[in-house]
Chain A
Amino acid sequence: MRERDPVMKKMKLVMIGNGMAGVRTLEELLKIAPDLYDITVFGAEPHPNYNRILLSPVLAGEQTLPEIVLNPLAWYAEKGITLHLGKAVTRIDRVKRVVHAADGTQAPYDRLLIATGSTPFILPVPGKSLEGVIGYRDIADTEAMIDAATKYRHAVVIGGGLLGLEAANGLMLRGMKVTVVHIAPWLMERQLDDVAGGLLRKSLVDRGLDFLIGAQTEALVGDAADGAGGRVKAVRFKDGTEVPADLVVMAAGIRPNTALAESAGLHCLRGIAVTDTLQTITDARIYAVGECAAHRGIAYGLVAPLFEQAKVCATHLAEFGIGRYLGSQVSTKLKVTGIDLFSAGDFMGGEGCDEIVLSDPQGGVYKKLVIRDDKLVGACLYGDTVDGSWYFKLLREGRSVTDIRDRLMFGESSLGDAGHQGQSRAAAMADADEVCGCNGVTKGTICKAIKDKGLFTLDDVRKHTKASASCGSCTGLVEQIIMATAGGDYSATPKKKAMCACTDHSHQDVRDAIRQLHLLTIADIQRSLSWRTPNGCSSCRPALNYYLISTWPKEAKDDPQSRYINERSHANIQKDGTYSVIPRMWGGETTASELRRIADVVDKYKIPTVKVTGGQRIDLLGVKKEDLVNVWKDIGMPSGHAYAKALRTVKTCVGSEWCRFGTQDSTQMGKDLERGLWRMYAPHKVKLAVSGCPRNCAESGIKDVGIIGVDSGWELYVGGNGGIKTEAGQFFCKVRTSEEVMEVSGAFLQLYREEGWYLERTVHWIARVGLDGIKKRVLDDLANRKALWERLQFALDGEPDPWFEHEKAAVDTRQFIPLIPA
C-alpha cells in the first residue's frame, strides 16, 4: 500500500446507518487498515449496534436488550469513531460531499458508506397511521409491543411469514390473545410448501395462536367516534367481518430503505444498485452494504451474505482492491423455540422435478426433497432439520445424487456418520455433552465462545472452537447451536471457494493454470496467479507442490519444504514429537528374516510400541527422529509410505493358494499391484485391497480401489472409504485377466492424480466429477485408458525409495541431526 504523509489529514469515511452490516464493515476495515480514515457514524436509532436477529427472543422474554448489544458505546470511543445517535440523515450532497442530518449536523466525506437497512412494508389501508399500529423492525417497535402486552388484550399480526410468526409467538408468550392474518393460502409460503405450512399452523394453533388464512385486510378501525382516529381497536376485512385489535403489527415484508439514496440520485432498483465491489453504480465514492443494497438485483436479508459483503467492502475501502462479492445462496430457519423448520432452494418442485417425501403428521415430521436432473434442487424440512445443512451443501454443490438417492431422505447419518452418538437435536443436549468428537468440543464451550466472542457464522465458530472443523459431520448440530445462541444464520457461502486466504483462485483454477501455462515452480504459480502472500501458507503450499509434480512429472522439482512434516521426514509424527515407522510388506506378506530384522531394530533402538496395522503391516511407534535413518537402514525394507498422500498398502486375503474357498490368487494380484503402484503420490492417501472370492475377507468394499476375485475374473470397485464416513465402493467394471486389473486400476488412479483436488479422497472426487464420466474415460475409451496407464508408468519410472535414496528423493538429511552448541 502506498505510504501516507503522516501530517496529511486522514481521509474521512462517513457511514449512514448503525446496524449489523455497516458496523461489521467498519470492524473488518479497522482490522486491516486501522488508521486510514476518520470515521463518523450516523444512527437513526438511539442505540449502539445490536443484534437485530435477536429481537424475537427479546420479545419472547428469552433475552434482554443489553444482552443483544454487539458494540457498546465504549467500542466506538476506543476506535475513535464519531458517533451521532438518534440523528437521521436527510440529505447527501454529492457535489460538496457532505451529509446533512435532520438536526442540522453535517459531516463531509471522502468515502460514504450507506447501510440504511430496510423498513417494514406498511399496508396502504385506511387507519395505517392510527396509534397502536406498528411495524416490526427495531428496538422501539419491540419495546412498543412489550409495553402494549402489559396494557392490552388483543393483538393482530398482519403477515404469516417468518417475522410475523416470530412477533405473534412473542406477543402470545407475553400474554396477549394473538390473531395472525395471512393473505396467502398457507403460512410462510415463500419458505414452505403447503404440507409443511399446514404442520406449522397446527403446531402454532396448539400453542394458542389464531389464524385467518386468506383474509384480506380492508381497514384498521380507530376508537375515535368516526372510527378514523385515536387508537386502533379492530381490523376489518373485505368480507365485512372484524376482529378486535388493540395492537396491530405489520409484518407483511420489508423493503430496502433507499429513500435517501434515491433523493441523492443514486440508481436504485429493488435496493441501491451496487457492483461486485459494493460500490454504488452511480458514484464510486459511495458504497452500500446490507439490506439496502441490491447486488445483481438481489437484496439479501440474512446475516451471512451481509457479512460476506462487509468483508469485501472493507478491503476496497482499505484500498487493497481485492475480493469480489459474487452473491450467495441462502436458506431459512425459523427462530420460534421448539419449532424446527428449514428450507432452501426450489422446494416447491413442479414440472420436470421428482419429489421424495417423508410425512409423519402424528410425529410432527415432514421432509420433502426436490430433485431435478439427478440433482437436489430444493429441500423443505419440518420437525427434524439436523440434515438441513447437508442438503444445503448438496444443493449448492449441484452434485449428482444418483448414487445416494435411495438413502438421501435418511440424511447424512445414514451414510455412515460417526462421532457424535447420533445426536440430532442440539437443544436436547447438555452443556457437557460433546458436539464435535474430532476435536473434543462440548456444547457449553461452543455456546460460551459464541456469547463471549460475538460469533455469528459457522466459519467463526470453527476458527475459534475448532468444532466441526475437522470431519464436519457435526456441522448440523453446531449450526443449531449458533441459531439458538446467536440467532445467526450461518448458511450462505461464496459460490466459488478460494483455495485459502492467500488467493481468490479455487483448486480447479490453479490446476488449470499449471497445465495451460506450463508452470513449474510454486513461485511461478504465485506470480502468475497474483498470490497475496510472499510464499503461501501451510495450506496452499503442499497442494501447489502436489499439483506441480503430478502435472509435470520429471520436470517440476519436488519442494520438500512445501510438504507436511510426515512427507518431509518420511515417517509419521506422533503427538509427543516422535515418529512411527511402517516398512512395506508387499501384499501383507513377510518373511522370517524380515521379522527378525524388525525385532532386532526394536531392541537396538528401544522402540516402545510395536503394533500390527489394519493394512497388514507392522508399525514401530515412538522412534526418535535422530534414529530414523538408521532404523530404515537396519530394517532394510522399502518405505511403506504410511505417512504420505500416496499409495499406502494393498491389503489381500490368502486367496486360492491356500484358501479352500478362494477362486483367484489374490495375494499375488495384490503383490503385483503394490509393486506396480508404490511410490505413487496422489491428492490424498490411496488404499487398495484384493479379495480372492466374494466373501471379501480383504474388505475390498471400502477401499479406493477394491478388487474381488470371482470364478470368471475380477470385479473392480472404486471410491470406497472406511474413514469418518464409511463409503461403500461403487462397482466399476469386471475384467478377465490380472493384466487388465493392473491397467484399469492404474488408469483410474492416474485420472484421479491428474484431476483430484489436494486432500480430496477418491470418493469425493468421484462425487464431484461423476462416475459416469470416469467410466467413459477409463473403460469405454481404450486409447485413453492406455494413455493414462502409460503416463502413470512414466511418472513412477525410476522414482526413488526415500528411505534409501535420500538425495534423489530430495530428503534433507540435515533434519535428522540436531545442532549442538560448542
Chain B
Amino acid sequence: MNSNDWIEICRVDDIPVLGARCVRRPAGADVAVFRTDGDRVFALLDRCPHKGGPLSQGIVFGEHVACPLHNWAISLVDGEARAPDIGCATRFAVRVEAGVVSLLASELATLALDDAPDDVAALAVARKVIAIAAA
C-alpha cells in the first residue's frame, strides 16, 4: 500500500465530539469518520456488517459506535462487532496532523467498492432466495 497518498478530508473540529461525518467517494459506499471524546479519529466503511446500516448515524461511546438500525456495537479501532455478534466493518487508515484529518486516497479508491447500497439490497434478496431454496 502506498502510504504517501494521504488526502485531506476535514479538520478534527468539523466532526462533532462523540459523533461522525460521512465522506463521499466517487465509487463505493460512504466512509464514516468518527471522533471520540478524547479527539481520536477513526474511519470505517459506513455500512454495518449486519444489515448495512449507516454507522455514521449511530451513537459513539468510548471507542465504539452503536449501529442505528439494530444497535450492534462496532469497535472503531478494528471494525469488529462486539460479541456475541459476529462481523467486521472495513477499516480505513486515518492520519491526524495539526488538527487536519486525512485518509489514504488509495484506500478510498479501492476498498469495499462492491458494497454500494444497491448491492446490499441485492445481496439481501439473494440471501432470501437462497434461504427459500434451502427450505
Contact = CB atoms under 8 A, between A and B. Distances in A.
Contacts of A815: 16, 19, 21
A453 B24 CA distance: 40
Interface in B1-50: 7-10, 14, 16-19, 21-25, 30, 33, 37
A541 B60 CA distance: 10
Nearest to A542: B59
Interface in A536-557: 536-539, 541-542
B66 interface: yes
A573 B14 CA distance: 23
B127 interface: no
A822 interface: yes
Nearest to A569: B57
B23 A819 contact: yes
Contacts of A539: 71
A437 to B, nearest CB: 16
A819 B84 contact: no
B26 to A, nearest CB: 9
B37 A577 contact: no
A657 interface: no
B67 to A, nearest CB: 9
Contact of A820 (B24, B68, B121): B24
B61 A463 contact: no
Contacts of B8: 821-822
A565 B69 CA distance: 9
A453 B66 CA distance: 24
A819 B33 contact: yes
A628 to B, nearest CB: 12
B22 A819 contact: yes
A393 to B, nearest CB: 23
A814 B24 contact: no
B9 A819 contact: yes
Given A577-B54, A819-B10, A533 B73 contact: no
A237 interface: no
Contact of A538 (B9, B24, B37, B66): B66
A432 B51 CA distance: 22
B24 to A, nearest CB: 4
B22 A818 contact: yes
A534 B62 contact: yes
B59 A538 contact: yes
Contact of A533 (B57, B62, B120): B62
Nearest to B120: A576
B24 A818 contact: yes
B105 A819 contact: no
A536 B37 CA distance: 11
Contact of B108 (A432, A537, A573, A821): A821
Contacts of A534: 37, 62
A575 interface: yes
Contacts of A533: 61-62
A562 B23 contact: no
A561 B33 contact: no
Interface in A778-822: 812, 814-815, 818-822
Interface in A551-599: 560-565, 568-569, 573, 575-577
Nearest to A568: B57
B91 to A, nearest CB: 17
A535 B18 contact: yes
B68 A819 contact: no
A464 interface: yes
Contacts of A822: 7-8
A538 B59 CA distance: 6
B84 A463 contact: yes
A577 B47 CA distance: 10
Contacts of B25: 821
B61 to A, nearest CB: 5
B117 interface: yes
A450 to B, nearest CB: 13
A538 B103 contact: no
B59 A562 contact: yes
B68 A573 contact: yes
Interface string B96-112: 00000001010010000
B135 interface: yes
A384 B91 CA distance: 51
B51 to A, nearest CB: 7
A535 B24 contact: no
Nearest to B135: A432
A421 B8 CA distance: 55
Of the candidates A432, A534, A821, the one having the most CB atoms from chain B within 10 angstroms of its own CB is A821
B117 A577 contact: yes
B79 interface: no
A533 B18 CA distance: 14
Contacts of A569: 57
Contacts of B10: 819
A453 B85 CA distance: 12
Nearest to B71: A538
A3 to B, nearest CB: 20
Contact of A812 (B7, B16, B52, B108): B16
A821 B9 contact: yes
Contacts of A818: 21-24, 30
A758 to B, nearest CB: 14
Contacts of A536: 61
Interface in A404-453: 432, 453
B18 A819 contact: no
Contacts of A576: 52, 117, 120-121
Contacts of B62: 533-535, 537
Contacts of B59: 537-538, 541-542, 561-565
Contacts of A820: 23-24
Contacts of A453: 84
A565 B22 CA distance: 14
B109 to A, nearest CB: 10
A269 B24 CA distance: 68
A565 B57 contact: yes
Contact of A577 (B53, B61, B64): B53
A673 to B, nearest CB: 31
Contacts of B69: 573, 575
Nearest to A537: B61
B22 A821 contact: no
Nearest to B60: A561
A563 B8 CA distance: 29
Interface in A450-494: 453, 463-464
28 contacts: A464-B84, A533-B62, A535-B18, A535-B37, A536-B61, A537-B59, A537-B62, A537-B66, A538-B58, A538-B66, A538-B73, A539-B71, A541-B59, A561-B16, A561-B19, A561-B59, A562-B59, A575-B69, A577-B117, A818-B21, A818-B23, A818-B30, A819-B9, A819-B23, A821-B8, A821-B9, A821-B108, A822-B8
Given A542-B59, A561-B59, A819-B23, 18 more contacts: A463-B84, A534-B62, A537-B66, A537-B73, A538-B59, A538-B66, A539-B71, A541-B61, A561-B16, A565-B57, A568-B57, A573-B54, A576-B52, A577-B52, A577-B57, A814-B21, A819-B14, A822-B8
Shortest beta-carbon contacts, A-B, top 9: A538-B66, A538-B59, A565-B57, A565-B68, A818-B24, A577-B54, A561-B18, A464-B84, A818-B22
